[in-house]
Amino acid sequence: MTDGKKIIFLDIDGTLSWNSLAPCTEDIDALRRARQAGHYVFINTGRASGFLPAPLLGVDYLDGYLCGCGTQLLMGGRQIFGDELKRPFLRQVAAFHLARPERIVLFEAEDALYGIHTPDAIYKTHPVTRENAFEGEYAHVHVTKITVLGHGRATPEEHALFDGQLELVEQTKSNWYEAILPGNGKGRGMDRACRILGVPIENSIAIGDSENDLDMFAHAGVAVAMENASPLALQAAHYVTGRCGEGGVAQAVRALVFGESELIKR
């Protein structure tokens, strides 16, 4: 896959970096080289734009950001596409979780994180203490995604709450799951970015490590799983590259963009 202009779509956590830190120098250099050769590089993350790690903002090796599992597309410092949760439904979600102190909920928005029962030492959030908070003090906020922490699969009660409103992306090996707007997702966000830039989706390269990357893998011309990826992500990928933080992204770029090496085939 070395002919034609390509678009590289990168997950963040467990793929490009760990714990909101900057990527390793080897990965940065490879992505910068890809852009200098005329290819595109995008973050494609489950994180809302208000939850993007600071080291990834305004850097010269990225063309843009797909955020909130495809609910927001940012290019050239402006929003190209955006979708958000409706306020009556946010009221229902807030009321449900405020009554259940054992649940931790993140309302991921375009500007910041808003949380119910969130530990201050772990997450810097604006507290949601009333069910109508997004119709009152946070009426200006655009929430693009909800993340529920504490378990990787939704309970029957949570399925009943979200059914018909949001699509659940469960994480079998993690302690959190995501609830996203129907009609979005990492893969459909890729489709949208490719159409806008006039690059065939067949020329896309998706690199990720977890269950919320499966939609991205299903849409990509080539899907690459990190060596540290979950079993389901490894199973869905075309190729496997090295580990996060150890030049795994650079290894994939050198192989698939520049044809300088080979990756392990699945």
pLDDT at 159: 95
pLDDT tens-digit series, residues 179-195: 999 989 999 999 999 99
**CA–CA separation, 266 and 264 (whole Å):** 7
- 24 close to 58: Cβ distance less than 8 angstroms: no
Which pairing describes strands 239-240 and 204-208: parallel, antiparallel, or unpaired? unpaired
How much of the chain exceeds pLDDT 70, in percent? Answer: 98
Beta-bridged to residue 208, according to DSSP, are 225
CA distance to 2, 31, 84, 193, 226, per residue, from 237 (Å): 19, 20, 30, 21, 9
- 50 close to 19: Cβ distance less than 8 angstroms: no
- In this prediction, residues 107-132 reach a mean pLDDT of 92
Task: Give the torsion sign (CA, 135, 138, 142, 145).
Answer: negative
Of 204, 200, 199, 246, the residue nearest 226 (C-alpha): 246
Domains of the chain, earliest start first: 7-82+184-265 (3.40.50.1000), 87-180 (3.30.1240.10)
Residues listed for the chain = 266
Tell me the pLDDT band of 123, cut-offs 50, 70 and 90.
confident
Average pLDDT, the chain: 94
- In this prediction, residues 48-56 reach a mean pLDDT of 96
pLDDT tens-digit series, residues 128-182: 999 999 999 999 999 999 999 988 889 999 999 999 899 998 887 778 899 999 9
Tell me the whole-structure pTM to 2 decimals: 0.92
- 105 close to 147: Cβ distance less than 8 angstroms: yes
pLDDT at 3: 62
- 241 close to 46: Cβ distance less than 8 angstroms: no
pLDDT at 150: 86
Burial of 47 (0-12, 13-18, 19+ CB in 10 A): buried
Helices 248-256/25-36 angle, 10° precision: 30
**CA–CA separation, 212 and 22 (whole Å):** 21
pLDDT at 120: 75
Sheet holding 143-149, edge to edge: 126-127, 113-116, 104-109, 143-149, 176-180, 167-169
Rg of the chain, C-alpha, whole Å: 18
- In this prediction, residues 45-59 reach a mean pLDDT of 96
pLDDT at 8: 98
- In this prediction, residues 1-6 reach a mean pLDDT of 73
Tokens representing 161?
């709450």
Tokens 């990720």 label which residue? 208
Which pairing describes strands 104-109 and 143-149: parallel, antiparallel, or unpaired? antiparallel
pLDDT tens-digit series, residues 202-240: 999 999 999 999 999 999 999 999 999 999 999 999 999
pLDDT at 42: 98
User: Please, what's the largest Cα pairwise distance for the chain?
Assistant: 56
pLDDT at 121: 66
User: pLDDT at residue 2 above 60?
Assistant: no
How much of the chain exceeds pLDDT 90, in percent? Answer: 87
